């Protein structure tokens, strides 16, 4: 005979199953669809065309350089922005060796300056005059970790300016041009897993990336239905100019870029590469604490050595 307890037990089991289904099944289905079944975006077909250009900030190294390379390979003219003109020129030559027809321009711009001064953008705005700008990649950013109570004040200022505010000013300067384009355009920002969850020792960098995440979500909503596709890339560990020691969780800069571009036009927020989907989605607080602490110790040593004139400051 069925008792009230049996009926209640069955009811709870059904509710539990429904909760699990509602919570996890859409994500799983989306994962299979997005990563395994849906064709990757053909970036040139969607945004390209004769004389189409892309702007990449922080383009002389790491992820930004990989964006410049990949987009030049797709056929876009590329405007590479960074602080060091000689390094930019060398990197431009590297791309031209592989893609001799690529049209690459370089713009020297230091984002660690007074970001609200429009004069900062004069060289970039001069360079884009008369060009069909199709894509903006907001890549520049400075990431480091430290105990908050002894964080060097200059480093805090630099992170906030270069990582958070430069992105919003660059977007404000370039978005009107993208919106006026007679066809599809894209605004992409390279964020970080540290901006999604609390990361001890990454309080400044992580919150700068959270600023980017919130702004990107708001902009995606504000301009939904326009010709501009917005995409915020929650990036995990990448081997790059300043981050050369990899782990099982890292991918190369080129893998990172190709992993992100496949979602452009489909997703407003992406982890990009499948390794980043798995590692950023499955992290645990103790891991974030341990990684933050160990990186904080590394930066502490590096900055002390830089103060003593033994290594270049980062």
Ligand X SMILES: NC(=O)c1ccc[n+]([C@@H]2O[C@H](COP(=O)([O-])OP(=O)(O)OC[C@H]3O[C@@H](n4cnc5c(N)ncnc54)[C@H](OP(=O)(O)O)[C@@H]3O)[C@@H](O)[C@H]2O)c1
Among 136, 190, 204, 231, binds ligand X (CB under 6 A): 190
Min dist. Cβ of residue 311 to ligand X (A): 15
178 interacts with ligand X by CB under 6 A: no
Q: What backbone torsions phi and psi does residue 272 show, to the nearest 5 degrees?
A: 70, -120
Among 143, 206, 259, 272, binds ligand X (CB under 6 A): 143
Among 69, 139, 203, 260, binds ligand X (CB under 6 A): 139
Q: Which stretch binds ligand X (CB under 6 A): 30-38, 60-68, 117-125, 177-185?
A: 60-68
77 interacts with ligand X by CB under 6 A: no
Min dist. Cβ of residue 120 to ligand X (A): 10
Judged by beta carbon, residue 78 or residue 109, the one nearer ligand X is: 109
Buried b (16+ CB within 10 A) or exposed e, 80-102: bbbbeeebbeebbeebeeeeeeb
Judged by beta carbon, residue 89 or residue 221, the one nearer ligand X is: 89
Among 41, 53, 55, 60, binds ligand X (CB under 6 A): 60
Among 140, 174, 185, 215, binds ligand X (CB under 6 A): 140
Judged by beta carbon, residue 166 or residue 220, the one nearer ligand X is: 166
List the catalytic residue out of 205, 271, 277, 299: 205
Place of tokens 């360079």: 127
Min dist. Cβ of residue 69 to ligand X (A): 13
Q: Are 185 and 135 in contact (CB under 8 A)?
A: yes
Min dist. Cβ of residue 314 to ligand X (A): 8
Among 134, 162, 228, 257, binds ligand X (CB under 6 A): 162
Dig out the tokens for 153 from the structure. 């004040």
240 interacts with ligand X by CB under 6 A: yes
241 interacts with ligand X by CB under 6 A: yes
Q: Active-site residue 201, yes or no? A: no
Min dist. Cβ of residue 248 to ligand X (A): 14
Cα–Cα distance, 75 to 276 (Å, whole number): 27
Min dist. Cβ of residue 15 to ligand X (A): 39
Q: With helix as H, strand as E and coil as C, how does the chain read?
A: CCCHHHHHHHHHHHHHHHHHHHHHHHHHHHHHHHHHHCCCCCHHHHHCCCCEEEEEECCCCHHHHHHHHHHHHHCCEEEEEECCHHHHHHHHHHHHHHCCCCCEEEEECCCCCCCCCHHHHHHHHHHHCCCEEEEEEECCCCCCCCCHHHCCHHHHHHHHHHHHHHHHHHHHHHHHHHHHCCCCEEEEEEEEHHHCCCCCCCHHHHHHHHHHHHHHHHHHHHCCCCCEEEEEEEECCEECCCCCCCCCCCEEHHHHHHHHHCCCCCCCEECCCHHHHHHHHCCCHHHHHHHHHHHHHHHHHHHHHHHCCCCCCC
**Residue count, binding to ligand X (CB under 6 A):** 31
293 interacts with ligand X by CB under 6 A: no
Window 13-52: contact mask with ligand X (x via CB under 6 A):
----------------------------------------
Q: Are 122 and 171 in contact (CB under 8 A)?
A: no
Min dist. Cβ of residue 208 to ligand X (A): 8
Q: Which residues are catalytic?
A: 205
Residues lying near ligand X in the complex (CB under 6 A): 58-64, 82-84, 87, 109-112, 139-143, 162, 190, 192, 235, 237-238, 240-243, 253
């Amino acid at each position: 005979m069925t008792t009230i307890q049996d009926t209640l037990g069955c009811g709870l089991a059904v509710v539990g199953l429904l909760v699990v289904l509602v919570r996890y099944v859409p994500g799983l289905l989306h994962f299979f669809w997005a990563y395994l079944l849906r064709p990757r975006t053909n970036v040139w077909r969607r945004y390209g065309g004769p004389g189409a250009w892309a702007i990449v900030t922080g383009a002389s190294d790491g992820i930004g350089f990989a964006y410049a390379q990949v987009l030049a390979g797709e056929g876009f003219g590329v405007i590479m922005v960074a602080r060091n003109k000689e390094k930019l020129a060398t990197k431009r030559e590297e791309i031209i060796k592989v893609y001799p027809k690529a049209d690459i321009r370089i713009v020297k711009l230091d984002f660690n300056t007074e970001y609200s001064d429009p004069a900062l953008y004069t060289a970039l705005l001069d360079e884009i005059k008369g060009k069909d700008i199709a894509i903006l990649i907001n890549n520049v950013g400075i990431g480091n970790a430290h105990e908050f109570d002894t964080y060097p004040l200059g480093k805090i200022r630099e992170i906030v300016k270069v990582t958070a505010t430069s992105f919003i000013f660059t977007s404000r300067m370039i978005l009107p041009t993208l919106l006026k384009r007679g066809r599809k355009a894209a605004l992409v920002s390279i964020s970080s897993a540290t901006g999604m969850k609390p990361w001890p020792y990454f309080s400044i960098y992580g919150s700068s990336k959270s600023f980017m995440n919130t702004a990107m979500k708001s902009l995606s909503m504000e301009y939904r239905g326009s010709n501009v596709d917005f995409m915020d890339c929650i990036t995990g560990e990448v081997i790059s100019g300043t981050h050369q020691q990899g782990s099982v969780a890292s991918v190369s800069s080129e893998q990172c870029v190709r992993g992100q571009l496949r979602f452009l036009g489909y997703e407003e927020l992406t982890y990009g590469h499948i390794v980043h989907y798995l590692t950023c989605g499955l992290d645990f607080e103790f891991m974030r604490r341990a990684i933050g602490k160990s990186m904080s110790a590394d930066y502490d040593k590096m900055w002390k050595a830089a103060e003593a004139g033994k290594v270049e400051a980062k």
